[in-house]
């Protein structure tokens, strides 16, 4: 969720997220503060290797995948654009698990990322706040009261977020759960002091661990506690800051709340307990990140009633008013009322959280054109008919600082030589590279940088994992969370098909290929884990077949994470973005590969559609069904057998998996994995120069996908705030990085 305070230059933007997938901080800080060269030089003088030092830092893995990394890119862009923006989230003691591969299977290890301390954070005990849970609702003379609650304290930790070369440092504030000192002593366990101290863990478990699900809703009580914890603590903090500001301090409470929406935007039920419904709507905006039905939150009413009894009553009240409005506009349309209700009946009664977000916000947006269309015309069609003006698109982006300057200095420098350095803050300038598409020297230099990146990555793999790959083969990379809709299984069928082609005709020329697949499976997602096992099994057979030799290698990249993405993406030739049309909301990995000079093999899904629009469809390898084809096929009924019967190579691959060819010790291992697949046709590159020209056309066309552009659009169309690119020079006395006792200092400034 997001929200902003104040429609003007003083506005504060609040980005609330259960995930901030920050990765490492050291190099990014040096780059954004313009200190990288000085630091490199100093470290070199000390006889040390800066890259070795950088590699010691743990990733801050407080996210699962694209959604959490988007939040991190947005923080960088908001600071770079000079918006007074705060990221608010949870300081998980354990981030996303570390993935180990044992005997070809995924095993999970706890991510104890704080073991050696975290030098980037500062605890702020002076801003600790209470959050209430459980209890009951009492009728009193002054109205309904929520009483007998259990209190957990929210202790904030601040991390600075520097903008790129603009003397601006924003704050990411993450809450840690602390038990009050009288926890379980006052009301319970009287006399059992030891047990009461041990029970403090129960309260502090709220911020213990990140839920490792990607695109999947699991209705766990602890997760609901996490969600309420971050919202309740953050809203109190925001209101406290507002009251202390020049807008809040001299006003009466009533007036404060009247001017609140102009100053804060994104969506919450908690707030209506404090503010009126229309103020809530004007304050919040809702961004939808997925349309997969199993990912959308539907909290059981019983659970909400137990944890937040008063909030449930308020949700019922909101629903009543909402349905009255719908009924007035669409009389006698009972089915529409059922579809649009916040409460889903039939079976377990549940609250549809997306419905609540839509009606409680002034804007609703998807994250790529195709996705925003689906949101508006399919998934939330009824709501768009009610309030069409709410619905918008904001295509995702990535920060060019981390995803080009930091991870691919060779390419960044080459680009700067041609078009200057301003593109780092205005990525649309990459279009100027177009005039070098036929420049032989530039073509050679671009392909040389790619080759260097590939050699470096190959050396890394050999050192860390003892696997040898051929750096002159094509690096075909499929890295992202393992999920059926992302179709790693289809990629695997393609690998088997290539293998069979080599075996059938070993003398026929074959473009040597190294297929690299990486990503974590949610620990409870059985099929995703089976897919990993299939990939490692196929790799075992292919990599050890002397007939195949150097032509084809299959690597499962262990423990894919932000810092590993920074290594593999610049070394990639071919980027796999092959989700079924209509399933991947946007994707952001696709953009990182495009910017780093990989060509995309992909479906017309998510932001791939706009990448093809920018670069020209002829500069991507687009294949597969379009969204209309998927709809038609769904109507007609999808019959996998038909494809199996029609396509002999596919039949062979499936038969091999079925017969235990890749798992001789356990021939029936993969039977269940075979139930779902789709097929595809590929185009192979043959001509190195033509390939690099396509690469240059892609880089030149990737300017749209900067998160700076995304944030500017949110600022203009949804938050009504103005980015201020030019910052006031720093004052003489340096200020405490997160000193928000200076209410007039919207962004904090650091003296270098
Ligand atoms: P996607 O759009 O699914 O390709 O993923 C978007 C981005 O999220 C990637 O480029 C990575 O930066 C990050 N990402 C996705 N999955 C993971 C993962 N398992 N571990 C670390 N980072 C990931
Ligand atoms: C999700 C979507 C992506 C989208 C991202 C950010 C939930 O992340 O599926 O398509 O780009 O949000 O909006 P993920 O990459 O984890 O699947």
3-state secondary structure 201-258: HHHHHHHCECCCCCCCCCCCHHHHHHHHHHHHHHHHHHHHHHHHCCCCCCCCHHHHHH
Q: CA–CA distance from 586 to each of 78, 393, 394, 408, 436 (Å)?
A: 20, 11, 10, 23, 30
Query: How far apart are the C-alpha atoms of 594 and 572, rounded to whole Å?
Result: 10
Residue 725, pLDDT score: 61
Q: According to the 3-state scheme, what is the secondary structure of 449-494?
A: HHHHHHHHHHHHHHHHHCCCCCCCCEEEEEECCCCHHHCHHHHHHH
Residue 142, pLDDT score: 81
Query: Any catalytic annotation for residue 588?
Result: yes
Residue 7 pLDDT exceeds 50 = no
Query: Any catalytic annotation for residue 402?
Result: no
Residue 270, pLDDT score: 54
Instruction: Render pLDDT for 606-654 as a digit per residue (tens, 0 to 9).
Output: 999 999 999 999 999 998 888 888 888 888 888 888 888 988 998 999 9
Q: Which atom of ligand 2 is nearest to the CA of 396?
A: 13
Q: pLDDT category, 518, cuts 50, 70, 90?
A: very high
Instruction: Render pLDDT for 423-460 as a digit per residue (tens, 0 to 9).
Output: 999 999 999 999 999 999 999 999 999 999 999 999 99
Residue 494, pLDDT score: 92
Query: Any catalytic annotation for residue 468?
Result: no
Name the residue of 585, 603, 707 to mutate for ligand 2: max ligand atoms within 8 A of Cβ.
585
Residue 259, pLDDT score: 58
Query: Any catalytic annotation for residue 486?
Result: yes
Residue 480 pLDDT exceeds 80 = yes
Which among 442, 476, 368, 454 has a CA at the least distance from the CA of 408?
A: 454
Q: pLDDT category, 686, cuts 50, 70, 90?
A: low
Q: Are strands 298-300 and 350-352 parallel, antiparallel or unpaired?
A: antiparallel
Q: pLDDT category, 246, cuts 50, 70, 90?
A: confident
Query: Of 19-28, 448-457, 461-470, where does mean pLDDT reach its minimum?
Result: 461-470
CA-nearest residue for atom 22, ligand 1, is 561
Instruction: Render pLDDT for 365-378 as a digit per residue (tens, 0 to 9).
Output: 999 999 999 999 99
Q: What mean pLDDT is predicted for residues 15-23? A: 97
Instruction: Render pLDDT for 68-83 as a digit per residue (tens, 0 to 9).
Output: 999 999 999 999 999 9
Residue 741, pLDDT score: 43
CA-nearest residue for atom 12, ligand 2, is 67
Residue 672, pLDDT score: 58
Residue 189, pLDDT score: 53
Query: Of 166-180, 254-268, 559-573, 655-669, where does mean pLDDT reach its minimum?
Result: 254-268
Q: What mean pLDDT is predicted for residues 251-259? A: 50
Instruction: Render pLDDT for 32-71 as a digit per residue (tens, 0 to 9).
Output: 999 999 999 999 999 999 999 999 999 999 999 999 999 9
The rounded Å distance from CA 407 to ligand 1 centre is 15
Return the percentage of the chain with pLDDT > 90, whole number. Answer: 78
Q: What is the DSSP string of 618-672?
A: GGSEE-S--HHHHHHHHHH---HHHHHHH-HHHHHHHHHHHHTTT-TTSTTTTGG
The rounded Å distance from CA 584 to ligand 2 centre is 7
Residue 203 pLDDT exceeds 80 = yes
Query: Any catalytic annotation for residue 481?
Result: yes
Q: How many other CB atoms sit within 10 Å of the CB of residue 81?
A: 23
The rounded Å distance from CA 217 to ligand 1 centre is 19
Residue 257, pLDDT score: 54
Q: Which atom of ligand 2 is nearest to the CA of 64?
A: 16
Residue 630, pLDDT score: 85
Residue 263, pLDDT score: 54
Joined tokens for residue 558: 């262990």
Q: What mean pLDDT is predicted for residues 573-578? A: 96
Query: How far apart are the C-alpha atoms of 627 and 88, rounded to whole Å?
Result: 36
Closest ligand to residue 95's CA: 1
In the DSSP assignment, the letter for residue 324 is: H
Closest ligand to residue 67's CA: 2
Question: Residues in the chain, how many?
Answer: 752
User: Using a 6 Å CB cutoff, which residues line ligand 2?
Assistant: 64-67, 70, 214-215, 289-290, 367, 396, 481, 584-588, 606
Joined tokens for residue 491: 């990629």
Residue 660: left (phi > 0), alpha (psi -120 to 50), or beta?
left
Q: CA–CA distance from 545 to each of 34, 407, 442, 497, 499 (Å)?
A: 50, 35, 39, 15, 10
Q: pLDDT category, 682, cuts 50, 70, 90?
A: very low
Query: Any catalytic annotation for residue 306?
Result: no
Looking at every residue in the chain, the average pLDDT score rounds to 90
At residue 654, φ and ψ (nearest 5 deg) are: -70, -40
Residue 749 pLDDT exceeds 80 = no
In a 3-state reduction of DSSP, which class is residue 403? helix
Q: What mean pLDDT is predicted for residues 561-585? A: 97
Residue 242, pLDDT score: 86
Residue 279, pLDDT score: 82
Check: pTM over 0.95? Answer yes or no: no
The rounded Å distance from CA 495 to ligand 1 centre is 22
Instruction: Render pLDDT for 729-748 as a digit per residue (tens, 0 to 9).
Output: 444 544 444 444 443 334 44
Q: pLDDT category, 87, cuts 50, 70, 90?
A: very high
The rounded Å distance from CA 125 to ligand 1 centre is 34
| CA neighbours closer than 13 Å in the CB half-sphere of residue 129 | 20
Residue 674 pLDDT exceeds 60 = no
Closest ligand to residue 520's CA: 1
Q: What mean pLDDT is predicted for residues 160-166? A: 98
Residue 141: left (phi > 0), alpha (psi -120 to 50), or beta?
alpha
């Amino acid at each position: 969720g997001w929200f902003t305070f104040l429609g003007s230059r003083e506005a504060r933007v609040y980005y609330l997220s259960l995930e901030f997938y920050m990765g490492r901080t050291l190099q990014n800080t040096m780059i954004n503060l313009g200190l990288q060269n000085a630091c490199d030089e100093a470290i070199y003088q000390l006889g040390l290797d800066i890259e070795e030092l950088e590699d010691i830092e743990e990733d801050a893995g407080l996210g699962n995948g694209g959604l959490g990394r988007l939040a991190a890119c947005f923080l960088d862009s908001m600071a770079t654009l000079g918006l007074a923006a705060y990221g608010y989230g949870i300081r998980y003691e354990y981030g996303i698990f570390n993935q180990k591969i044992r005997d070809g299977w995924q095993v999970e290890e706890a991510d104890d990322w704080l073991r050696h301390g975290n030098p980037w954070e500062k605890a702020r005990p002076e801003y600790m706040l209470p959050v209430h849970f459980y209890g009951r609702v009492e009728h009193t003379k002054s109205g309904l009261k929520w009483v007998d609650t259990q209190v957990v304290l929210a202790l904030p930790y601040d991390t600075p977020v520097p903008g790129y070369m603009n003397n601006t440092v924003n704050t990411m504030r993450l809450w840690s759960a602390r038990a009050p000192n009288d926890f379980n002593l006052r009301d319970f366990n009287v006399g059992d002091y030891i047990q009461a101290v041990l029970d403090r863990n129960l309260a502090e478990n709220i911020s213990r661990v990140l839920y490792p699900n990607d695109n999947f809703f699991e209705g766990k009580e602890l997760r609901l506690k996490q969600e309420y914890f971050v919202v309740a603590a953050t809203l109190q903090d925001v209101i406290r800051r507002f009251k202390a500001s020049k807008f809040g301090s001299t006003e009466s409470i009533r007036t404060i709340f009247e001017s609140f929406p102009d100053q804060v935007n994104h969506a919450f039920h908690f707030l209506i307990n404090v503010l009126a419904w229309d103020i809530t709507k004007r304050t919040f905006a809702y961004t939808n990140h997925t349309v997969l039905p199993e990912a959308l939150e539907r909290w059981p009413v019983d659970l909400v009633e137990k944890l937040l009894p008063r909030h449930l009553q308020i949700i019922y009240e909101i629903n009543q008013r909402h349905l009255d409005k719908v009924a007035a506009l669409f009389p006698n349309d009972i089915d529409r009322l059922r579809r649009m209700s916040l409460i889903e009946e039939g079976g377990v009664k549940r609250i549809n959280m997306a419905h609540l977000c839509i009606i409680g916000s002034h804007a609703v947006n998807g994250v790529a054109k195709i996705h925003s269309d689906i949101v508006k015309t399919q998934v939330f069609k009824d709501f768009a008919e009610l309030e069409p003006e709410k619905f918008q698109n904001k295509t995702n982006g990535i920060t060019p600082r981390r995803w080009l300057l930091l991870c691919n200095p060779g390419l960044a420098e080459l680009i700067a030589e041609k078009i200057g350095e301003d593109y780092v803050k205005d990525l649309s300038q990459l279009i100027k590279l177009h005039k070098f598409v036929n420049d032989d020297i530039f073509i050679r230099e671009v392909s040389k940088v790619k080759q260097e990146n590939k050699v470096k990555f190959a050396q890394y793999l050999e050192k860390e994992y003892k696997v040898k790959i051929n750096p002159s083969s094509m690096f075909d990379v499929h890295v992202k969370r393992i999920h059926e809709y992302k179709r790693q299984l289809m990629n695997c069928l393609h690998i088997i098909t290539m293998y069979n082609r080599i075996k059938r005709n070993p003398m026929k020329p074959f473009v040597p290929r190294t297929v690299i697949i990486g990503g974590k499976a949610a620990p409870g997602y059985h099929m995703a884990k089976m897919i990993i096992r299939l990939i490692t099994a196929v790799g075992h057979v292919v990599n050890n077949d002397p007939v195949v030799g150097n032509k084809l290698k299959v690597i499962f990249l262990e423990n894919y994470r932000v810092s590993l993405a920074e290594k593999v993406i610049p070394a990639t030739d071919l980027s796999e973005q092959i989700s079924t049309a209509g399933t991947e909301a946007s994707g952001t990995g696709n953009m990182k590969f495009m910017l780093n000079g990989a060509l995309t093999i992909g479906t017309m899904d998510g932001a791939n559609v706009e990448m093809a629009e920018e670069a020209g469809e002829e500069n991507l390898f687009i294949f597969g069904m379009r969204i209309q084809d998927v709809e038609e096929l769904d109507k007609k009924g999808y019959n996998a057998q038909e494809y199996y019967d029609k396509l002999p190579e596919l039949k062979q691959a499936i038969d091999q998996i079925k017969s235990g060819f890749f798992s001789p010790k356990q021939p029936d291992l993969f039977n269940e994995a075979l139930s779902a697949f789709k097929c595809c046709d590929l185009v192979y590159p043959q001509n190195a120069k033509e390939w690099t020209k396509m690469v240059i056309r892609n880089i030149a066309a990737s300017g749209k996908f900067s998160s700076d552009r995304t944030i500017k659009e949110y600022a203009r169309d949804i938050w009504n705030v103005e980015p201020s690119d030019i910052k006031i020079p720093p004052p003489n006395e340096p200020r405490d990085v997160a000193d928000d006792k200076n209410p007039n200092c919207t962004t904090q400034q650091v003296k270098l």
